[in-house]
Amino acid sequence: MNALRLHGVGDLRLHDEPGVDAGEGEISIDVTAVGLCGSDRHWVTEGAIGDARLERPLVLGHEFAGVIASGARAGQRVVLDPAVPCDLCAVCAAGLPHLCPQISFAGHGTRDGALRTRMAWPERLAHPIPDTIGDPESALLEPLGVALHALDLGHIREGTTAGVFGCGPIGLLLVQSLVAHGAQTLVATDPLPHRRAAAEASGAVHAIHPDELAAEAPSVDVAFEVAGTDEALADAIAAVRPGGRVVLVGIPDGDVTSFTASPVRRKGLTLLVSRRMTPSDLPRAIDLAAKGRVDLGSLVGERFALSEWEEAFAALLDRRTLKVVVEPQRQAA
């Protein structure tokens, strides 16, 4: 099989490797679609994400779907939950498996991800997807689950007003999800014009460059920081009303986030940090997409075969499109 491994900062190499056998409780997956994420960008540019450092050549990719190649479910199209909690610790027992201290995650630390033609994964984490969701779109289901978890932390209800600060794929999925849940995105910001256009098409009332925010920012009930920058967080804090909520979704460069305390204290804001998604969020994402309440296809930008990995990661690093999707079963043109 073919597998793309990260050996160091900026050092990706495509390998021909032996096949992977499914262990107990696992299934073999022919990987059909992998979305490249901002966290993959951190791995490539920093050789790390947060306090996790590259320890060995690692296969990236945690937004993935495929076809089951073994067992009673062979031939079934599925999307995979990339998080494997221990299911034994007190945190898991408390109903917070996404925060499990022993969690193993695809394309992170020592657990290889999905940028390969075939892989093994726990069967319990394979969720069937309907034919109405295409292979490229299926790579957006995990990011949609992440957006839904952030939405829940924001206590979104019908009539809630929100701001989304950072309109990469998760920010755009937040805008769509807000609309689907009866809320309204009064303002969405991003420095890139194609992202602002997508935010407006997704339902944002005002999609603007961060520099164009008025001194008196629009007042919203909830602000989502999805850029991973202190500047976006400052804009989110300025925009939210007194007593409101700010949800931090973005991952900062250098593993440091800072903000000025006085406006947060004066407004009595609640700051929450969103961590990936809960196990129930992926089935919710599938249902939302299957019912057409979000448009995953509108976020699919450039698509590449695994052998075209250099072009795929160039598109990711340049942020020149929305979601970059790699299709390991596809042959290069």
Q: 102-113 burial by CB neighbour count: b if 16+ within 10 A, else e?
A: ebebbbbbebbb
Among 65, 53, 37, CA closest to 251: 37
Place of tokens 């949609």: 144
Domains and CATH numbers, the chain: 2-128+295-327 (3.90.180.10), 144-273 (3.40.50.720)
Rounded-to-integer distance, Cα 277 and Cα 54, Å: 23
Among 139, 129, 106, CA closest to 329: 139
Q: What pLDDT is recorded for position 254?
A: 81
Rounded-to-integer distance, Cα 294 and Cα 292, Å: 5
Rounded-to-integer distance, Cα 28 and Cα 76, Å: 11
Collapsed DSSP state (helix, strand, coil) of residue 107: coil
Report which DSSP code applies to 50: T
Q: Which helix (H) or strand (E) holds 324?
A: strand 323-327
For the chain, helix, strand, coil in percent to 5 are: 30, 30, 40
- What distances in angstroms separate CA 99 from CA 54, 91, 105, 231, 254, one per listed residue? 21, 7, 11, 27, 21
Question: Which stretches in the chain have pLDDT values below 50?
Answer: none
Rounded-to-integer distance, Cα 320 and Cα 220, Å: 30
Q: What pLDDT is recorded for position 228?
A: 92
Per-residue pLDDT tens digits for 137-160? 999 999 999 999 999 999 999 999
Per-residue pLDDT tens digits for 70-122? 888 999 999 999 999 999 999 999 999 999 999 999 999 889 999 999 999 99
Q: What pLDDT is recorded for position 215?
A: 61
